[in-house]
Amino acid sequence: MSDAGVVRLLLFRVGTLVCAADAERVREILPRLETTRIPGAPPPVAGLVNVRGTLITVVEGWRALRQPEPPASNGTHHGTTVLLEVGGGRKVLGFTVDEVVDLLALSAEALDRRQALPGIDPTLVRAVGRRAGQLFVVLDTDALLTPILSS
């Protein structure tokens, strides 16, 4: 979050939720890739994908955010994978979303501090914003993804 109070956010939809992640944390946006299951990993982990020779663990967005399973999802070829930096850029994780909505630059004041929203764990919410009259939650991606990786 640089440029004196200007925040750049990547907006995406997971189920009925519109979420945002700090755009500086977004490494890349890719189509959905074929995953390899990791036995023993917690349910939100979709598996491993190959991103140009690097192996990246992918987290299923709807499972991590406890959203209903997307109807069109037959496990493959649905949605988008967003590569996010976790833990200060030391690790990169994939996060599947239904679709990427927008890339926004807005002033930090336009966001409300964390507040409770129905249907989402408040500890995962960093702030709440509004776009075209619709609410979106700015996710604390570290809080969401670090526990899944911690081993």
Partner 1 sequence: MDLSQYAELFLAESREHLTACNQLLLEWEKHPSGLAPVGGLFRAVHTVKGMAATMGYARVTDLAHRMESLLDLLRRGAHPATDELLQLLFRARDALEHAVELSVVGRERELEVAEIVADLDHAASRMAPGGGPHSPGGRATPSTPPRPDSPVELEPAPGRLVQVTLRPEAPLKGGRALLVVKKAQGLGAGGDEALGSGARVEPGAAGVLEGGGRSRHIRVALRRLDGLMDLIGELVTARGRLNQLAAERRDPAIDDLAIQVSRLSSDLQAEIIQARMTPVWQVFDRFPRLVRDLARELGKQVAFRVEGKEIELDRAILDELGDPLMHLLRNAVDHGIEPASERRRRGKQPEGEVVLSAARERASVAITVTDDGRGIDRAKTLERAKRDGVVDPHADTLTHDQLLRVLARPGFSTAETVTSVSGRGVGIDVVMTRLRALGGTIDIRSEPGKGTSFALRLPVTLAIVRAIIASVGSERYALPLTYVAETVEFGTVKTTVVEGREAIVLHDRVVPLVHLRRLLGVTQDAPPPRSPIIVLEMGERRTGVVVDGMLGQQEIVVKGFDAPAGTLPVFSGATIMADGVPALILDAGGLL
Q: Return residues touching partner 1 (CB under 8 A).
A: 34, 36-42, 45, 47-50, 52-57, 91, 93, 147-151
Measured from the CB atom, the residue of 52 and 113 that comes closer to partner 1 is 52
For the CB of residue 58, give the shortest distance to partner 1 in the complex, in Å. 10
Q: Which residues pair with 15 in a beta bridge?
A: none
For the CB of residue 25, give the shortest distance to partner 1 in the complex, in Å. 16
Measured from the CB atom, the residue of 34 and 99 that comes closer to partner 1 is 34
For the CB of residue 47, give the shortest distance to partner 1 in the complex, in Å. 8
Within 8 A by CB and 6+ apart from 28, the residues are: 51, 82, 83
Measured from the CB atom, the residue of 53 and 118 that comes closer to partner 1 is 53
CA-to-CA distance for 92 and 28, rounded, in angstroms?
10
Sign of CA dihedral 41, 42, 48, 51: negative
Residue 91 φ then ψ, to 5°: -130, 155
Measured from the CB atom, the residue of 11 and 60 that comes closer to partner 1 is 60
Measured from the CB atom, the residue of 55 and 116 that comes closer to partner 1 is 55
Q: Return the C-alpha torsion angle 116, 119, 138, 18, nearest 10.
A: -140
Within 8 A by CB and 6+ apart from 52, the residues are: none
For the CB of residue 27, give the shortest distance to partner 1 in the complex, in Å. 14
For the CB of residue 59, give the shortest distance to partner 1 in the complex, in Å. 8
